[in-house]
Amino acid sequence: MTPVIDAALADAHALAHGGIDAFIVENWGDAPFGPGRVEAPAVAALAVVASEIRRALPAATLGVNVLRNDGRSALAVAAATGASFIRVNVHAGGVLTDQGIVQTDAYALLRERRLVSADVAILADVQTKHAAPLAPVDIEIETRDVVHRGLADGIIVSGRATGEPTALTDLKRVRGAVQDVPLFVGSGVTPETAAELLSVADGLIVGTYVKREGDVDQRVDPARVRRLVDAVRAR
């Protein structure tokens, strides 16, 4: 775990010093992912990493995402480490992915959050990346289901895959469907697109761009972080 913790802390410090507002800790290195509950070693490792980041940067806003879609484990890690939110990739319906069929666990997740009295927000993807719906569904309908039936606290809209641009038209359709919850862009953000995306969305989730040479598997590049933050602040 030592090199994992060291890498996570280096990235967190680079993001914080560059002006990023919040972090999401996730098990990106666990590919290939499973379609359901994640096994205990990965959950324990995430809790350790999140705890180390919390200790190093106590004022930071922290989130947790357990890939591919284990919201209950993400909630457990968040509750144990004082994280503020979790990301859930499939919170309504079911989709076909490279892991097979992945479907919602919103019923159990919402009840578990109440059971542990966790003050943790649920940010849920709409038409999540690296996936196709099992049956055609309008993005507006899925958005309303995620918020009004899945009771998500915020919505995430992404491109088709990691690092791919998020369509402004999709953002506008989602914003038109539900106006009273925060809306986040989930992929493909660059300094050149940030201002336009924020004309509709409330926040940006950025992974690929802030890595060295735009390679998602590399460490965070402080210079890229500064360029992105400067672009957001200058809009």
Q: What is the pLDDT of residues 4-18, one digit of tens each?
A: 999 999 999 999 999
118-141: b (≥16 Cβ within 10 Å) or e: bebbbbbbbbbbbbeeeeeeebee
Query: What pLDDT score was predicted for residue 102?
Result: 96
CATH topology of domain 2-234: TIM Barrel (3.20.20)
pTM score of the predicted model: 0.96
Would you kindly state where each structural domain of the chain is located, as residue ranges?
2-234
Query: What pLDDT score was predicted for residue 122?
Result: 98
Q: What is the pLDDT of residues 4-59, one digit of tens each?
A: 999 999 999 999 999 999 999 999 999 999 999 999 999 999 999 999 999 999 99
Here the tokens at position 206 are: 């950025």
Show Cβ contacts of residue 176 under 8 Å, excluding neighbours closer than 6 positions. Answer: 140
Q: How far apart are CA 203 and CA 156, in angstroms?
A: 9
92: confidence class by pLDDT, cuts 50, 70, 90: very high
DSSP assignment of 8-22, as one string? HHHHHHHHHHHT--E
Express as a percent the part of the chain with pLDDT over 70.
Answer: 100
- Give pairs for 71-74: CB < 8 Å, separation 24+: 71/105, 71/106, 71/109, 71/122, 72/37, 72/105, 72/108, 72/109, 72/112, 73/37, 73/38, 73/43, 73/46
